[in-house]
Amino acid sequence: MNSMVVLISGRGSNMRALIDAGLPVAAVISNRADAAGLAYAASRGIATAIVSHRDYATRDAFDAALAQAIDAFHPELVALAGFMRILTDGFVQRYQGRMLNIHPSLLPAFPGLDTHGRALSTGVKLHGCTVHFVTAQLDHGPIVIQAAVPVLRHDDETRLAARVLAQEHRIYPQAARWFLEGQLVIEGGVVRVVGDYPQQLYAP
């Protein structure tokens, strides 16, 4: 199986899910030296690197340095796992079709930040998470897999976020494995899984 590089900015809980699923994570790279996820990756014998955005005057310069760090590991897949930087169009194009992101909503609903609060304030009855290919338009790339959870009567943001996060940890490794095994095909902007299909992804 080909390898992958994971980008994080903080605790890296989705990174941990990818590693714990036995996926071939070659390296974990963060834009923050204090990202807690770096210690976990190192404890598992995985290479880590820091490319601090504060060291670069422009987004283009930072992205160029980040790309250089990624390419040193020759990954087939780049996985964003709580990487809190908006990437330039040039960076996205460099990894077009081989960069995934996990987003805490059922896209195309609630792109961007504060997804759980917005879901509650809107009154939706289902919420969830989405793994998608990264494109230049934020949180709008072709969808690989989604998982839904019901919004319960007494939910607050913390309770809802915890249930969604549990589903993130389930579907992100699945999506990454499909990609690395060559099972994902994008046709007309729609992702098709070749030779396998998602299990029921509604979580009561």
Nearest to 105 by CA among 23, 174, 159, 165: 165
Is residue 154 part of the annotated active site? The answer reads: no
Q: Return d(Cα 97, Cα 68) in angstroms, integer.
A: 18
Please count the other Cβ atoms lying within 10 Å of the Cβ belonging to residue 48: 17
Going along the chain from its start, the domains and CATH numbers come out as: 1-95 (3.40.50.170), 103-204 (3.40.50.170)
- Give the residue carrying structure tokens 């210690």: 39
Question: Which residue among 53, 103, 127, 132 is the active-site one?
Answer: 103
Kindly give the confidence (pLDDT) of every residue in the chain, 204 residues in length, as a single tens digit, with 9 standing for 90 and above.
689 999 999 999 999 999 999 999 999 999 999 999 999 999 999 999 999 999 999 999 999 999 999 999 999 999 999 999 999 999 999 999 999 999 999 999 999 999 999 999 999 999 999 999 999 998 999 999 999 999 999 999 999 999 999 999 999 999 999 999 999 999 999 999 998 665 555 554
Q: What is the pLDDT of residue 195?
A: 81
Q: What is the pLDDT of residue 2?
A: 82
Q: What is the pTM of this model?
A: 0.94
- Beta carbons of 46 and 25 less than 8 angstroms apart: yes
DSSP-based three-state secondary structure for 121: helix
